[in-house]
Chains A and B, each alone.
Chain A
Amino acid sequence: MEDFPWLSLLIALPLVGAVVVGLLPGAKEALVKQTALGVSLLVGVLTVVMALGFDPDGARFQFTEKYWWIKQFGVHWAVGVDGVALVLVLLSVILVPLVILASWTADGRSGGVDVPAKRSVKTYFALLLALEAMMIGVFAATDVFVFYVFFEAMLIPVYFLIGSYGGAQRSYAAVKFLLYSLFGGLLMLVAVLWLVKLSNEHLGHGTFLFEELRTIKDVDPTTAKWLFLGFFIAFAIKAPMVPVHTWLPDAAAQAPAGALVLIVGVLDKVGTYGMLRFCLELFPGASAWAAPVVIAFAVLSIVYGAVLAIGQVDLKRLVAYTSVSHFGFIVLGIFAMTSAAQSGAALYMVNHGFSTGALFLIVGFLIVRRRSAKISDFGGVQKVAPVLAGTFLVAGLSGLSLPGLAPFVSEFMVLTGTFSRYEVAAIVATSGIVLAAVYILWTYQRTMGGPAVEKVQGMADLTAREKWAVAPIIAIIVVMGFFPQPVLNVINPSVKVTLERVGHPQDPAPKIGTVAENGARP
C-alpha cells in the first residue's frame, strides 16, 4: 500500500463526483444529494484510512507522488502530506459531508442552512464537491506550482457559490472576494515565476519542488524580502488579516452558510498554512526580518476583529469578524517562532475550522428559521428550541476558548509560546479572549435568552438531520479539548522541521516544551 496514489485518488474522486452530480438530471434532487453525500463520505472514509497509515516519526512527507507534469516549466505533479497538511486535509473531508447534510433542505420546517430557492440544486452540490477536491489538492501539493494552481482554481467554485447562492448583495460580495484573492494570487505568481529563476541559479535546474526549493541557501536578502512579500500578501488576504480583511465580512454576510463553513473553516486556512509552509521555509531570513511587523498586524487583527465583532448587528458578519480575530492568533503563533506557539497555531487551524464551522452551521439554521440574520430579530430562542440554543452555546463557548473545549488548548499554546519571545504582543493578544467573552455571551444573551419574541415563537428545534450535521463537530470539539495529544503528535514533527529551517530550533527560556503537555493534560 506504500505506493498507492492515495492523494491523487482523493483529489480525483470528488472531481469525478462533481461531474457526475453535474450530469444528473436536475429534477431528481434527492438523487443529487444522495450522490454528493455518498461521494463526500467515501472521500472522508478513504482519507481516514490513509491517515491511519501516517507515521508521525517517519519521513516528513508521506504518501508522496511525483511525476513530470509540464517539463518545460520544471513543474511536477507532486503531492504528499506532512503532519500539518494531513490534519487540514482531514478537517476538509470531515466538514464537507456535514455541510452537504446540513444543506439538504432549507426551509423553516425541515431546517437546514440557507440555500436560496429557485437555484440549481445540483450545481450547488457539484460546486461543493469540486471545492473539496481543490481543498485537498492545495494542502497536499508539494510543488509550488501545483499549490498555486489549486490556490487560484479554488476561487472559481467559491465565486459561484457566493455569487449564485448568496443573499441580495451576492454579486458585489462575490466579485469583491474574487478580485481581492486574484490580486493576491497574481502577486504570488510573480514570486513563483521568480522562484524558478532562483532555482536555475542555485540548483542548476528550474524546479518548483518544495523539498528542493527549501534547500536553496544564501538567497540575496533583498530578493528574498520581495519574494516573501509576494507570497505573504497573497496569504494575508486569504487568511484574512487586517487591513486586507474587508472582503470576508461582505462575503460572509452574503454567502450561504454551508459554503461559508468551507470558506472560513478551510479555505482561509490556506493563507495561514501557506505562511507556515512557504513563507517561513522558503524565505527564513526574510520571515525573521518581517516577524515583528507581522506580529504587530496579527495583534491588531486580534483586537480589531474582536472589537468590530461586538458591534455587529448581523449574525454572519459577527462570526466573520470573530474569525478575523482568531486568524490573528494563528498568525501570531506562526511568527512567534517557538515550538509551542507554532504547534498551537497549527492546532488552532484545525480547531478553528471545527468551532467556526459549527457556529456558521447553527447560525445558518437560525437564519433559515427566522428568515433574517439580524441579531435584533431574535430573542428567547432557548425557550422554544433548546437544542438549537444549546449547540449554539457550545460552539460559541469554543469560540471564546473555554477550557475543556478544543480551541482553548491551541489558544493557550499560542499565547504562552508567544510570551516567551514577545511579551507585549502576548499580553495585548490576551485581551482578545476577554473581548471574545463579550461578543459570544452578549450575542447568546440577545438571541437565545429572555422571553421568546413574537416571530421566534413556534420556531422548530433542530431536526434529526441537523443534529447529525452538528453533533460530530461538537463531539470533535469536546474530545480534542481533552485529548489534543494525538493531533499534536502528528503536528509536532512538521513544526520542528520548520523551526529548524528558520533557525529557531531551541525555544527561548523559559522552556515551553512542558506547556504542550500541560495543555494536553485533561
Chain B
Amino acid sequence: MSPHLNAVAQGAEIPAPHIEYGQLGPMLLVFGVAIAGVLVEAFVGRSWRYAVQVPLTFLGLFGGFVWTVVLAVTEEPFHVAAMGALGVDGPTLFLQGAILILALVSLLLIAERQQAHFTAQASALPGSEAEQETMAAGITQTEIFPLLMFAVGGMLMFPAANDLLTMFVALEVLSLPLYLLCGLARRRRLLSQEAAVKYFLLGAFSSAFFLYGAALLYGYAGSVRLSVIAAQIERDTGSETLLLAGVALLSVGLLFKIGAVPFHMWKPDVYQGAPTPITALMASCTMVSAFGALLRVYYVGLEKLAWEWRPAMWGVAILTMVAGAVIAITQTDIKRMLAYSSIAHAGFLLTAVVAIPDAAAASAKGLAGALFYLAAYGFTTIGAFAVITMVRDAGGEAGHLSRWAGLGKRSPVVAGIFAFFLLAFAGIPLTSGFTGKFAVFQAAVDAGATPLVVVGVLASAIAAFFYVRVIVVMFFSEPEADGPTVVAAPATAAAVALGLTATVVLGVLPQPMLDLAGHAASQLFVR
C-alpha cells in the first residue's frame, strides 16, 4: 500500500489495480444490480417500480448464484483476486452460494405483496389516514430491493475479504442497508425504529472496535493483509501487546455480528423489531456471512496464534451456548425466542472454530462441519420466520407466544411444519439440525474439545425445553376464541416449502451436501 501512497504524493500516475472480473463476477453482478435498482427508483414510474425491481433483484441473485456454481465447477478455485484483497476459494464460494440461495428464499418473503411487511412511508402510522393516502397514491417502499442487494453484496464480500480493510468496508456495506431495513416495519413502528437505532448504535460501536483492532494489527504486522499477519505471527517478532490487543478488538467486532455472548444484546431487540422478512434475512444470510468472515480471520490470519485465543474462544462458546439457551426459556415473544435460539446456535457453531487445530485434515473437518451447519440452519430459520409471518391477528403478526395456543387445532399443517422446524433447531435426528450439530460436535471431539461438546449437549437439552414449550402451546392447549388466523400467501408459502424441503433432505439424505461442504473445505481458505 505504501508505494501507492508515495506515488500519489509524488503526483505520479496511479497504476490501475488488476481486477479478475470473471472470478469476482457474483459480487460485481449483485452490486451492479443494486446500482441499477437505485436508477430504477429514480427513473421508473411509481406504479411500475415493484414490477421492475422484483424480477431485477431475482435475476441479480439468481445470476450471482449460477455464476458462483460455474466458478466452483469449472476449475479448482484457489485464487486471490483484486490484488490480493479478495480470496476466491472453496469455502468462500460455498458461503457465497449459501448466502445467495438463502437471500433468494428471503426475497420470497420480502417481495410478498399480499401481506405488506414494509411501511409505505416511514413517517406514516399504520392504519392512519396518512398511510391510506400514501397507499392510495401508490407509494410503495421499493427501495428495499436495492438496499437488499447492497446488503447481500456486502455479505458476499465479507467472508471473501483477505485483508482487514476490505473486510471492514464489506462490513459497513452489509450493515448500513440492514440498519435501514430494520426500521421499515409496517406494524409496531416504534419497536421497529427502536430496533434500527439500537442496531445502528451498537453496530457502529462494534465496527469501531473492528477498525481499532485492524489498526493495531497493522501496527503489529505492517500490513492489513491476513497472510502477512499470519507470517508475522509465525516469525514471532513485533510487539505482542499490539498483536493481542488487536486480535481481541477485532474479535469483538466479529463476534458482535454473529451475536456471541457477551456481544449479543442487540439480537433479541433487533430480531423482534425488524420486519420479519428482514429478520429472516439477518438470521440466515448475515449469520452465514459473518461466520464465514470469522472463520477466515481465524483460519488464515490467526491459526498460528491458536494457543492464545483458543481458551478465550472456549469461554465465549460456552457462554454463548448456555446463556442463549437459558435466557430463551424466559421469552414470551416468539421472535425474541428465536433470536436467543440463534444466539445458542452461534455458540454451537463456535465449537467448530475451537476445532481449528494444527493438523490440516482435522481442521478441514471442522470447517466442513461449520459450512454445512450454516447452510442447514439458514434454511430452517428462514422457514421458521416465514411461518411467523403467516400467523396473524388484527394487529399484524401474532408475536406473543400465548396467542399461538391451540394453533395445532386451527391449522394443523402450519403448526406441524413449525413444530418440525423447532425440532430441527433442537437437533432431533432425521432433521438437518441434527446432522449439522453432529458434524460440528464430531469435529470438536476429534480436536480434543470433548468437555466443550458435553456443555454443548447440555445446552441442547436446555434449548430443547423452550422449543418443546412452543409445541406444547401449539398442540396441547385449547385454542382461544379470538385466536390468530393463518394467512398462507403464495410467496411466503413457497419460502416455507423450500425451508421444509431443505430441512428434511439435509436431515435424511445429507450425503451430497456434506460432500459439497467437505470438498469446499478440503483446500481451506486461500491465503
Q: Given the interface contacts A149-B430, A170-B476, A197-B446, does A179 sit within 8 Å of B412 by beta carbon?
A: no
Between A and B, how many residue pairs show CB distances below 8 Å?
Answer: 90
A194 within 8 Å of B (CB atoms) = yes
Check B461–A179 contact: CB distance below 8 A.
yes
- Among candidates B438, B465, B471, residue contacting A179 with C-beta atoms closer than 8 Å: B465
Name the B residues within 8 Å of A152 (CB-CB): 428-429, 434
- Among candidates B423, B446, B476, B477, residue contacting A156 with C-beta atoms closer than 8 Å: B423
Contact with B along A162-174 (1 / 0, CB 8 A): 0110000011001
Min CB–CB distance A156 → chain B (angstroms): 6
Q: Complex formed: what's the CA distance from A184 to B460 in Å?
A: 12
Nearest-CB residue, chain B, relative to A120 = B412
List CB contacts (< 8 Å) of B353-392 with chain A. 368
Q: Given the interface contacts A164-B475, A175-B472, does A72 sit within 8 Å of B514 by beta carbon?
A: yes
Min CB–CB distance B321 → chain A (angstroms): 13
Name the B residues within 8 Å of A170 (CB-CB): 476
B347 within 8 Å of A (CB atoms) = no
List CB contacts (< 8 Å) of B437-479 with chain A. 438-439, 441-442, 445-446, 450, 453-454, 457-458, 460-461, 464-465, 468-469, 471-472, 475-477
Q: Complex formed: what's the CA distance from A84 to B461 in Å?
A: 31
Min CB–CB distance B483 → chain A (angstroms): 17
Q: Complex formed: what's the CA distance from A163 to B468 in Å?
A: 11
Q: List 7 A-B contacts (CB under 8 A).
A: A69-B511, A72-B514, A148-B429, A149-B429, A159-B471, A171-B477, A186-B460
B515 within 8 Å of A (CB atoms) = yes
A18 within 8 Å of B (CB atoms) = no
Name the B residues within 8 Å of A179 (CB-CB): 461, 464-465, 468
- Among candidates B426, B446, B457, B468, residue contacting A190 with C-beta atoms closer than 8 Å: B457
Check B450–A175 contact: CB distance below 8 A.
no
Nearest-CB residue, chain A, relative to B446 = A197
- Among candidates A71, A171, A190, residue contacting B472 with C-beta atoms closer than 8 Å: A171
- Among candidates A70, A174, A183, residue contacting B510 with C-beta atoms closer than 8 Å: A70
Q: Which residues of B contact A (CB under 8 A)?
A: 368, 408, 412, 423, 426, 428-430, 434-435, 438-439, 441-442, 445-446, 450, 453-454, 457-458, 460-461, 464-465, 468-469, 471-472, 475-477, 510-511, 514-515, 518
Check B445–A193 contact: CB distance below 8 A.
yes
- Among candidates A120, A160, A197, residue contacting B445 with C-beta atoms closer than 8 Å: A197
**Contact-size category for A:** 35 or more
Name the A residues within 8 Å of B514 (CB-CB): 70-73
Check B510–A190 contact: CB distance below 8 A.
no
Smallest CB-CB A-B distances: 5 pairs: A149-B429, A171-B476, A186-B457, A72-B514, A163-B476
Min CB–CB distance A394 → chain B (angstroms): 36
Q: Complex formed: what's the CA distance from A174 to B457 in Å?
A: 21
Q: Complex formed: what's the CA distance from A123 to B412 in Å?
A: 10
Nearest-CB residue, chain A, relative to B444 = A193
Min CB–CB distance A190 → chain B (angstroms): 5
Nearest-CB residue, chain A, relative to B447 = A197
- Looking at chain B's contact residues, the main secondary structure is helix
Q: Given the interface contacts A72-B514, A153-B428, A179-B468, does A174 sit within 8 Å of B476 by beta carbon?
A: yes
Min CB–CB distance B449 → chain A (angstroms): 11
Nearest-CB residue, chain A, relative to B477 = A171
Q: Which residues of A contact B (CB under 8 A)?
A: 68-73, 120, 123, 148-150, 152-153, 155-156, 159-160, 163-164, 170-171, 174-175, 178-179, 182-183, 186-187, 189-190, 193-194, 196-197, 200
Q: Complex formed: what's the CA distance from A175 to B441 in Å?
A: 26
Q: Complex formed: what's the CA distance from A73 to B437 in Å?
A: 12
Q: Given the interface contacts A152-B428, A183-B461, A190-B453, does A175 sit within 8 Å of B511 by beta carbon?
A: no
Check A153–B457 contact: CB distance below 8 A.
no
Check A186–B458 contact: CB distance below 8 A.
yes
Name the B residues within 8 Å of A194 (CB-CB): 445, 450
Min CB–CB distance A60 → chain B (angstroms): 26
Check A163–B430 contact: CB distance below 8 A.
no
Min CB–CB distance A79 → chain B (angstroms): 16
Check B518–A72 contact: CB distance below 8 A.
yes
Q: Complex formed: what's the CA distance from A146 to B165 in Å?
A: 47
Nearest-CB residue, chain A, relative to B372 = A72
Name the A residues within 8 Å of B426 (CB-CB): 182
Residue of A70, A120, A123, A170 with most partner-chain B CB within 10 A: A70
Q: Complex formed: what's the CA distance from A164 to B429 in Å?
A: 22
Min CB–CB distance A354 → chain B (angstroms): 29
Q: Complex formed: what's the CA distance from A123 to B408 in Å?
A: 12
Check B472–A174 contact: CB distance below 8 A.
yes
Name the B residues within 8 Å of A197 (CB-CB): 445-446
Q: Complex formed: what's the CA distance from A69 to B429 in Å?
A: 14
Check B430–A73 contact: CB distance below 8 A.
no
Q: Complex formed: what's the CA distance from A487 to B196 in Å?
A: 69
Residue of A72, A152, A183, A187 with most partner-chain B CB within 10 A: A72
Check A73–B439 contact: CB distance below 8 A.
yes
Name the A residues within 8 Å of B435 (CB-CB): 70
Name the A residues within 8 Å of B429 (CB-CB): 148-150, 152-153
Check A196–B461 contact: CB distance below 8 A.
no
Q: Given the interface contacts A156-B428, A171-B472, A193-B438, does A178 sit within 8 Å of B457 by beta carbon?
A: no
Residue of B408, B461, B510 with most partner-chain A CB within 10 A: B461
